[in-house]
Structure formats: structure tokens, C-alpha cells
Amino acid sequence: MFNLILFGPPGSGKGTQSERLIARYGLKHLSTGDLLRSEIANQTTLGLEAKGFMDRGELVPDAVVIGMIRSALDNNPEAKGFLFDGFPRTQAQSVALDELLEQRGEAINVVLALEVTEEELVKRLLNRGLTSGRTDDVNESIIRARITEYHKKTSAVADHYRQFGKVVEVKGEGSVDDIFDALCAEIEKRKAA
């Protein structure tokens, strides 16, 4: 199995690049953002609980997202690897993911961290907000709150995996094709190792 985390601030291109990476490598895509939005669309109890946090640009509680990932791993025993997109987002989620994978005899192979400046992130998300219908993309102060959450809680995820030498930084500005090629080059190196 090959398991990778696509890491980076909101708007760094995780969703965009994940689509291409899963197509190239046949990985199972696990996006906690997509899973949460689907719970909201179906008006489940979990979705109703998550919506308030997401609308304010805050992270959803760890127990909720860890439970979702546990179920997703259980439901995909045949997967040849997972691409984690937007998860883990806290130190506690990182530890939980490592444990969930270890119980299955697996581990994270690489964390690819997309680097994008804050002004570019805000520009991209406001632009996506024009068409996405996402309530967390339309208001600049909510977008900045999401970026602040990222610096406060999510950058710890990179620190966690750095201690195991698993983090590779990739420039997340430029054309989608060039960024994709850079990500693939790093994956190929790790697969060959």
C-alpha cells in the first residue's frame, strides 16, 4: 500500500491536485472536507453539528473527523492506498491516524506540503466563492479565520511528521500541471525507495 497526506493551508490546491493524483495512482481519496459537506447536504446529526464550525472557519472537533476516517478505512479494505486530503489537521488527528494505520499494519509513506502565500490563498478562495456555493468561501474575514486556524493548529501536523522525515515541501504556486508534475516526482522517489 502507498499512503500519502496532501497537506497545506485552505486554498493551497489540495482538492485540485487530489483529483489528479488519485487518477494517476489509483488511491482511495479521503477528504474530510468532502465527507463533512456530504453529511451537511444529507442533514445528518453529524452534519448539523459540523456546519456551525465550518461556517465560522473553525475546525470541527477531533472526535467527529477521526470517527469519519475510521469508518472510511473500515469500509475500504480493498484499497491499494489512501490519499488523505485535509486530514489530519491537528496533532491529535495525526496521532490517531498513525494508530489507525498501525492497527492495519500500515503507515504514512509521505506528506506532501503545498506552500502558497496568504494573499494568493485569499484570492483563490474568494474566486472559488463566486461559484462554489460554499458559505466558508464568500467572506474574507472567514477565509482569514481559516488561515489563522491553520497556523494555530494545523501546522503542528507537519512538525509531527517531520520528526519521522516524511515531509516534503512543494511550491504550490504556478500552473496546476507543473505542480502536479512536482508532486508526482516526489511520489515516484518515495515509491522507488
Catalytic sites, residue numbers: 14, 89, 128, 134, 146
| Amino acid identity at 37 | R
Lay out the site mask for ligand B4P across 11-30 (x = CB under 6 A, - = otherwise).
Answer: xxxxxx--------------
Q: 129-145 burial string, b = 16+ CB within 10 Å, else e? A: beeeeeebbeeeebbeb
Residue with cell 459537506: 37
Q: What is the size of the binding site for ligand B4P (CB under 6 A)?
A: 29
| Amino acid identity at 84 | F
Taking the complex as a whole, the smallest distance from the CB of residue 193 to ligand B4P amounts, in Å, to: 27
Taking the complex as a whole, the smallest distance from the CB of residue 13 to ligand B4P amounts, in Å, to: 3
Taking the complex as a whole, the smallest distance from the CB of residue 2 to ligand B4P amounts, in Å, to: 20
- 114, β-bridge pairs: 170
Candidate residues 5, 10, 39, 167; the one interacting with ligand B4P per rule CB under 6 A:
10
Lay out the site mask for ligand B4P across 62-81 (x = CB under 6 A, - = otherwise).
Answer: ---x----------------
Q: What is the DSSP string of 106-151?
A: ----EEEEEE--HHHHHHHHHHHHHHH--GGGS-HHHHHHHHHHII
- Residue with the closest Cβ to ligand B4P? 33
